């Protein structure tokens, strides 16, 4: 059975199949059973395999995260950027769409120079990614620190372009704001990784033994970061 993402909706009347970026997305009414959905996927398997192969063969799109219609990862899922204007700046989701709302007050300024829109969208997304990363780490850092038996002095979140986290001799931890683009289990790995450095300020065998004790799937996390690193970069204007 081909893997797929299932999105259910009360308003939907029919089952819809879509292949997007090599992944199958199924939108279905609430009342359609899992068995019926599995049957539909099986009956369309030849078409689905062909579409997946076609899309995987296409070159990766340019990574301009801040432009209308561009693609970016959020929580490990690919989202399409949709830019709007409203009373208050905001960032929200609607299924596979990420909506960035810019303040109406910027319209006049941006109308004179469309490149200004890229600038403000980028700034708003950066601030939002930083906020989301900070919230998640703040909620989970103490849990892992207690398990490992360490006590970090503090942590902060900043835009790193070449690393996911760091730990210094003063027991201060830092994390990349771009971690909000990765799945939660990847952020968990980075948290554990940096906390283990409070015991071993190196990448010795003892360090990795401590990591695997508290995060057995660390090799999968490292492989995910390596294979997705091109999508977890932030372009400059």
Question: Alpha-carbon distance 12 to 95, whole Å?
Answer: 14
Q: Which residue has the tokens 């609607």?
A: 94
**Per the domain annotation, does 66 fall within a domain?**
no
More confident residue, 137 or 83: 137
184 and 198 share a domain?
yes
Contact 96, 104 (CB under 8 A): no
137 — pLDDT class (breaks 50, 70, 90): very high
Residue 108 is predicted with a pLDDT of: 73
Query: Rounded mean pLDDT of the chain?
Result: 86
Q: Among 82, 114, 129, where does a domain finish?
A: 129
Mean pLDDT of 144-171: 92
Q: Which residues contact 21 (CB under 8 A, 6 or more apart)?
A: 55, 71, 78
Per the structure, the count of domains in the chain is 3
Q: What angle do CA 125, 131, 133 make, to 5 degrees?
A: 100
Cα–Cα dist 172/195, whole Å? 10
The answer on 180 and 151 residing in a single domain is yes
- Nearest-CA neighbor of 180 among 197, 202, 157? 157
Which structure tokens are listed for 233? 């970069």
pLDDT at 173 over 80: yes
Has residue 96 been placed in a domain?
A: yes
Do residues 134 and 214 share a domain?
Answer: yes
Q: Is 229 helix (H, G, I), strand (E, B) or coil?
A: helix
Q: Are residues 112 and 135 in the same domain?
A: no
Let me know if residue 62 belongs to a domain: no
Q: Which two tokens stand for residue 186?
A: 């990847």
Q: Are 91 and 159 part of one and the same domain?
A: no
Q: Which domain holds residue 47?
A: 5-57
Flag whether pLDDT at 113 surpasses 70: no
* Whether residue 59 has pLDDT greater than 50: no
In a domain, 110, yes or no: yes
pLDDT band of 57, cuts 50, 70, 90: low
Residues 46, 100 within the same domain? no
Q: Tell whether the model's pLDDT for residue 111 goes beyond 80.
A: no
Q: What is the CATH number of the domain that holds 168?
A: 3.30.2010.10
Same domain flag for 121 and 166? no
For residues 122 and 140, membership in a common domain is answered with: no
**166 and 221 inside one domain:** yes
Q: Where are the alpha helices (DSSP H) in the chain?
A: 34-43, 45-57, 107-112, 115-148, 184-196, 205-214, 218-227
Does the pTM surpass 0.75? The reply is no
Higher pLDDT, 145 or 78: 145
Edge to edge, what strands does the sheet with 5-9 contain?
5-9, 23-29, 16-20
Share in percent of the chain as helix, strand, coil (round to 5): 45, 25, 30
- Of 92, 107, 129, the position where a domain reaches its end is 129
């Amino acid at each position: 059975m081909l893997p797929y993402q299932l999105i259910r909706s009360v308003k939907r009347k029919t089952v819809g199949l879509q292949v997007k970026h090599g992944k199958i997305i199924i939108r279905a009414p609430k009342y359609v059973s899992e068995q019926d959905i599995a049957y539909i996927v099986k009956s369309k398997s030849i078409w689905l395999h062909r579409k997946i192969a076609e899309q995987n063969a296409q070159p990766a799109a340019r990574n301009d995260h801040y432009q209308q219609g561009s693609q970016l990862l959020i929580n490990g899922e690919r989202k399409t950027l949709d830019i709007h204007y409203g009373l208050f700046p905001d960032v929200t989701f609607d299924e596979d769409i990420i909506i960035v709302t810019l303040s109406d007050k910027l319209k006049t300024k941006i109308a004179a120079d469309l490149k200004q829109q890229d600038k403000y969208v980028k700034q708003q997304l950066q601030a939002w990614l930083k906020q989301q990363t900070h919230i998640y780490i703040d909620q989970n850092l103490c849990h892992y620190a207690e398990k490992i038996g360490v006590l970090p002095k503090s942590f902060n979140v900043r835009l790193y372009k070449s690393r996911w986290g760091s730990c210094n001799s003063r027991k201060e931890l830092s994390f990349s704001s771009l971690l909000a683009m990765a799945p939660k289990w990847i952020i968990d790995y980075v948290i554990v990784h940096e906390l283990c450095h409070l015991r071993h300020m190196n990448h010795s065998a003892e360090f990795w033994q401590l990591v695997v004790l508290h995060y057995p799937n660390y090799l999968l996390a490292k492989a995910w970061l390596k294979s997705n690193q091109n999508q977890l970069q932030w372009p400059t204007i």
